[in-house]
């Protein structure tokens, strides 16, 4: 190990900021804690910690508390916070990054639907190239309260009667090429 790498510590903040924004830098260590993001966020009331708090916690290295919170799984990716942040921070991208980080670490708060839904969605796309709504239902519907469960089924039935639900999964024509394309990005991607 070189001397330089011994003196550089991979804090949680550095990990999240350095690794997970390949496509776009995100200066969240520059947060001034003004609270504009939390004030703009339509979901803040349902989050364990508000966007402002979660950023402070990432910057302070409170990894376990961050990972155990529902905050980033409750982000609707509406970008309201991002367009208003005076420091040019994309809070939305940070939320995505934390989702990826927690999938990668396989650590989530218990009882969340977000992770299993994302996984079902991702698998569906790499297998068929298309979205097929009915295949997603098992990833969430059994977590619903009884009233919601029946409401959801009634919704689906009404949509089906109106011809708005696909009965057969769609798939793209050049699926083999597509799967090989996915494999060039994720080596195991597209494998059944």
- Residues engaged in binding another protein (CB under 8 A): 20, 22-24, 42-43, 45-46, 70, 73-74, 76-80, 82-83, 90, 92, 96, 99-100, 103, 112-114, 117-119, 121-122, 125, 129-131, 133, 136, 140, 144, 147-148, 151, 154-155, 158-159, 162-166, 170, 172-174, 177-178, 180-186, 189
Which does residue 121 touch among another protein, ligand SF4, none (CB within 5 to 8 A, set by kind)? another protein
Cβ 89 vs Cβ 35: under 8 Å: no
Distance CA(63)–CA(46), nearest Å, equals 20
Distance CA(114)–CA(121), nearest Å, equals 10
- Write down the least CB distance from residue 14 to another protein, Å: 18
Reference 37, options 1, 74, 86; nearest CA is: 86
Cα separation values, 50 from 13, 39, 44, 91, 94, Å: 17, 9, 5, 11, 13
Is there binding between residue 122 and ligand SF4 (CB under 6 A)?
Answer: no
Which does residue 61 touch among ligand SF4, another protein, none (CB within 5 to 8 A, set by kind)? none
């Amino acid at each position: 190990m070189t001397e330089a790498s011994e003196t550089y510590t991979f804090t949680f903040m550095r990990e999240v900021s350095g690794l997970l924004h390949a496509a776009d830098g995100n200066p969240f260590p520059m947060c001034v804690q003004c609270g504009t993001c939390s004030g703009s966020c339509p979901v803040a009331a349902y989050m364990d910690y508000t966007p402002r708090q979660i950023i402070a916690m990432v910057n302070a290295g409170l990894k376990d508390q961050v990972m155990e919170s529902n905050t980033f799984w409750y982000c609707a990716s509406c970008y309201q916070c991002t367009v208003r942040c005076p420091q040019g921070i994309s809070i939305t991208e940070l939320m995505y990054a934390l989702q990826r980080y927690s999938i990668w670490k396989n650590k989530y708060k218990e009882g969340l639907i977000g992770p299993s839904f994302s996984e079902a969605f991702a698998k569906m796309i790499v297998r068929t190239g298309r979205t097929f709504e009915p295949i997603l239902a098992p990833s969430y519907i059994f977590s619903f309260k009884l009233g919601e469960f029946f409401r959801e089924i009634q919704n689906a039935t009404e949509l089906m009667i109106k011809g708005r639900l696909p009965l057969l999964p769609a798939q793209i024509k050049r699926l083999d090429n597509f799967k090989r394309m996915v494999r060039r990005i994720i080596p195991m991607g597209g494998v059944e």
